[in-house]
Amino acid sequence: MSPTPLKKMLLASLLSIFVVGGASNPVASPAEDALHKRGLEILKTTTTEHHTIDWVPLHSQGKIAPAPPPRAPYVPDPARNVTLATSELQQETAELGPAGTVPIPRTNLTPSIAKNGLPNKKTSQAKSKRQYSGDHWYCSSDLSVDNYGGSGVFSAFKAFVQNGGDFSLLQTAVTVSSTSKGEQTVEAGWINYPNQVSAPHIFTYYTTDGYTGNGNNVGGWNQQVGGWVQYSSTIFPGTYFTPLSTIDGPQYEITMEYEYYAGNWWLSVQNQWIGYYPGTLFEISGEVTLSDYSDQIYFYGEIYQSESGLTTTDMGSGEFGSLEWPWSAYIHNIWYYNLSYGVVPWDGTFWCSDTSRYNAVWLDDSSQAWGSFVYLGGPGAGGVVGG
C-alpha cells in the first residue's frame, strides 16, 4: 500500500464513528475502515488469544461461487502418534459470529515483507552464502506439469525465528510460470512470522504480476489486501492452531489442498473448503493464466531473514530433515491433480540452498500410508535448535 492511501485511511479512522456489538460510539479502527471501503458490513466483533475478528455477512463479499464437493475425512496414520491440530475458532471456548457470517481478522495495515518469487534452484546454487545475507533460503521441489492443484499434509511445529521480522514456513504453490505480467501464483502453508500474527498460523498469498505489485486484486498476504473470498466460519487465512508438534513427542498435522474448481482456486484446510481466489483475478486477454490452469506446482520450506549475517532461524522443527521421525518436520501424502482431475503421486526431487544449515530426505512411494513425502528442516547458522 502506498503512503498516501494509508494516510487517508488513518485519517478516516479518526473521523468516523461506528457501533460494534452494541458498544456505544467507538472510533473505527483502520482495519474496520478498510472493510467498510470494501463494502463489508461488520455485524459482530470477537477476540481470540491472537486475533480481533470482525464478522461480516458471507454474501457481502459478492456472489459466492459453488464450492467443490466435500472430501472424505483424512485419517492420520494409526501407526504413528499423530493428530490433526485444532483451529482457534474450533476451540470449545471460541465465540463465533451470527449465522451466515464469516470471520475477517484485523491485521496490521503495514504490509508484511513481500515475497520475492518462488525457489530457483539454479539461482540459489550460484549464490555464495555471504550473498544470501538478508535473503531467502529453501528446501524445495517443483514439477513442470499442467495441473488443477495439489495437496499435502504438513507438520505443525513452531519454528524458532531469530526476530519478529523473520519467517519460517512450509508451503505449496500453484503457478503459471510466465505471462506478459510475470509469474502468477496461489500459495498456502504453515508459517511462524511474528510480525504478521504472533503465533504460528496458516497463510495464503497470491500474485498476478510476478511479485511486482502489492494491493487489492493484485497480490499480497492473507486478507491484508482484497482478492481472497472467505467461505468457512471457523478457519481463515491467519488462523493459528493448537496443540503444536514437539520434537520426539506428539505430532500434530494440518491438511492443505488447492483445487481449481468451476473457474476458481479453492483452498481446503483440515478437510473443509475455507475460501478461494477467483480465477478472474488472473485473466489476461489471449493468454493462458491461472484463470485456466496451472503449469507448475511446488512444495517447499522457506526461511526469510531480516537481519544481517547468516540467520539462526530454524526450518521446521529445527532438526535436520535427515533425522526423520519423530524429530524432523515433514510434508506427506503429496500429490497433484492432472487436467482430468486424476490424482498423481509426487515424484519430484528436493534440493536445499545450504545443506550445512537445512536439508531434506524424501521418498516417492504411493504404496505406503504416507505416500510421497519429505522430511525437511534444520537449525540455521550455529547449528543450535531453537537459537
Q: State whether 175 and 51 are in the same domain.
A: no
d(CA 301, CA 191): 10
Question: Looking at the domain assignment, is residue 345 inside a domain?
Answer: yes
The β-bridge relationship of strands 201-207 and 86-87 is: unpaired
Q: Could you tell me the pTM of the whole model?
A: 0.88
Instruction: Quickly state the pLDDT bin for 60 (edges 50, 70, 90).
Output: very high
Is the pLDDT at 127 greater than 60, yes or no? no
Instruction: Quickly state the pLDDT bin for 119 (edges 50, 70, 90).
Output: confident
Question: Looking at the domain assignment, is residue 107 inside a domain?
Answer: no
217-223: Cβ within 8 A, 24+ apart: 217/281, 220/111, 221/111, 221/112, 221/196, 222/105, 222/107, 222/196, 223/104, 223/105, 223/107
- What is the residue-averaged pLDDT of the chain? 87
Q: Which three cell numbers stand for residue 296?
A: 507448475
Instruction: Quickly state the pLDDT bin for 118 (edges 50, 70, 90).
Output: confident
Find the domain containing 40 and state its range: 3-78
Q: Is 57 exposed, middle or buried (0-12, 13-18, 19+ CB in 10 A)?
A: middle
Question: Tell me: the pLDDT tens digits for 219-229?
Answer: 999 998 999 99
pLDDT of residue 90: 97
Q: State whether 38 and 177 are in the same domain.
A: no
Question: Looking at the domain assignment, is residue 342 inside a domain?
Answer: yes
Is the pLDDT at 92 greater than 90, yes or no? yes
The alpha carbon of 266 is separated from its chain's Cα centroid by a whole number of angstroms, namely 13
Longest Cα pair distance anywhere in the chain, in angstroms? 62
Q: State whether 234 and 342 are in the same domain.
A: yes
Question: Looking at the domain assignment, is residue 279 inside a domain?
Answer: yes
Range with the poorest average pLDDT among 16-30, 200-214, 233-247, 312-326:
16-30
Mean pLDDT of 295-316: 95
Is the pLDDT at 27 greater than 50, yes or no? no
Determine what percent of the chain is predicted with pLDDT higher than 70. 84
Q: State whether 55 and 184 are in the same domain.
A: no
Instruction: Answer with the one of 15, 46, 78 that is the final residue of a domain.
Output: 78
Q: State whether 70 and 126 are in the same domain.
A: no
Question: Looking at the domain assignment, is residue 385 inside a domain?
Answer: no
Give strand pairing partners of 102.
56
Q: Which three cell numbers stand for residue 83?
A: 493428530
Question: Looking at the domain assignment, is residue 114 inside a domain?
Answer: no
Question: Looking at the domain assignment, is residue 102 inside a domain?
Answer: no
Q: State whether 167 and 289 are in the same domain.
A: yes
d(CA 168, CA 380): 11
pLDDT of residue 135: 85
Asked if 20 and 26 count as a contact pair (C-beta separation under 8 A), the reply is yes
Q: State whether 196 and 56 are in the same domain.
A: no
Mean pLDDT of 87-109: 92
Q: State whether 73 and 138 are in the same domain.
A: no
Q: State whether 159 and 16 are in the same domain.
A: no
Instruction: Answer with the one of 45, 78, 111 that is the final residue of a domain.
Output: 78
DSSP string computed for 116-149: --S--HHHHHHS-TGGGTTSEEEEEEEE---BSE
Is the pLDDT at 377 greater than 70, yes or no? yes
Domain count of the fold of the chain: 2
In degrees and rounded to multiples of 5, residue 65 shows phi and psi of -70, 155
92 vs 127, residue with greater confidence = 92
Question: Looking at the domain assignment, is residue 109 inside a domain?
Answer: no
Is the pLDDT at 121 greater than 70, yes or no? no
Q: State whether 129 and 184 are in the same domain.
A: yes
Q: State whether 141 and 221 are in the same domain.
A: yes
Q: State whether 229 and 359 are in the same domain.
A: yes
d(CA 258, CA 261): 9
